């Protein structure tokens, strides 16, 4: 750990937040001279302070330890390039439209990559009452089920979360253009299906 880089980052983040050294020190129950020492590169925070310091400065603990923030390239806004993430611990579903460092339950999450379509995931699409009724012939047990179905088209993402022991089916508003249907199975992973609405 480079104390000088860490100190410069603490100074930068503190100034961005509009905080004084005293305000940071008071929130951590330490002296403002200690904060000054960190910012001058004459020492680093004690291990017990990193979590609180990251909350005060609004930065990830690992980035603080590295002493640098690496911003992503600006998001160009193409929803078709949406990325899905699922937490293996709590099944939280997260999405991003650009590069992101996503974590949940203390673990960094990898972007889900679509796998080849599996025979067990037969998708049926019907038009009923000005809606698309989508059903998947798939077991919905507590161990093996469809966690979500997402429709991605132009500027929108419609995400439907499903639960064990319910039917693997959803209704989508009538769409008149092409998109992609993403289905996430807890056992087989993410699958991508082209979706073309009937005209």
CATH for 79-195 (2.60.40.730, 2.40.10.230, 3.40.50.2300, 3.90.1150.10): 2.60.40.730
Tell the CATH superfamily of the 3-66 domain: lambda repressor-like DNA-binding domains (1.10.260.40)
**72: confidence class by pLDDT, cuts 50, 70, 90:** low
**161: confidence class by pLDDT, cuts 50, 70, 90:** very high
**Does the pLDDT value for residue 10 go beyond 60?**
yes
What is the percent of the chain with per-residue pLDDT over 70, rounded to a whole number? 94
Please state, in angstroms and rounded to a whole number, the distance separating the CA atoms of residues 106 and 131. 40
DSSP code per residue over 126-175: EEETTEEEEEEE----SSS-EEEEEEEETTEEEEEE--TTS-SEEEEE--
Which pLDDT score is estimated for 75?
A: 66
**Does the pLDDT value for residue 17 go beyond 60?**
yes
Domain ranges, ordered by start, for the chain? 3-66, 79-195
Please state, in angstroms and rounded to a whole number, the distance separating the CA atoms of residues 48 and 58. 17
Question: Per-residue pLDDT tens for 40-55?
Answer: 888 888 888 888 888 8
**90: confidence class by pLDDT, cuts 50, 70, 90:** very high
């Amino acid at each position: 750990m480079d104390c000088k880089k860490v100190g410069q980052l603490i100074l930068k983040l503190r100034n961005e937040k509009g905080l004084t050294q005293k305000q940071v020190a008071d929130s951590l129950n330490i002296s403002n001279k200690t904060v000054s020492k960190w910012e001058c590169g004459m020492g680093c925070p004690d291990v017990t302070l990193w979590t609180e310091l990251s909350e005060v400065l609004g930065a990830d603990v690992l980035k603080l330890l590295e002493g640098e923030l690496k911003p992503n390239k600006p998001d160009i806004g193409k929803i078709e390039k949406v990325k899905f993430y699922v937490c293996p611990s709590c099944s939280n579903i997260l999405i991003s439209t650009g590069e992101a460092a996503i974590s949940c339950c203390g673990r960094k999450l990898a972007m889900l990559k679509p796998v080849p379509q599996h025979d067990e995931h037969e998708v049926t699409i019907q038009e009923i009452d000005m809606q698309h009724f989508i059903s998947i012939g798939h077991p919905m047990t507590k161990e093996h089920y469809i966690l979500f179905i997402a429709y991605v088209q132009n500027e929108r993402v419609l995400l439907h979360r499903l639960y064990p022991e319910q039917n693997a089916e959803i209704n989508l508003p009538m769409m008149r253009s092409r998109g992609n249907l993403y289905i996430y199975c807890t056992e087989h992973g993410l699958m991508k299906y082209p979706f073309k609405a009937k005209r």
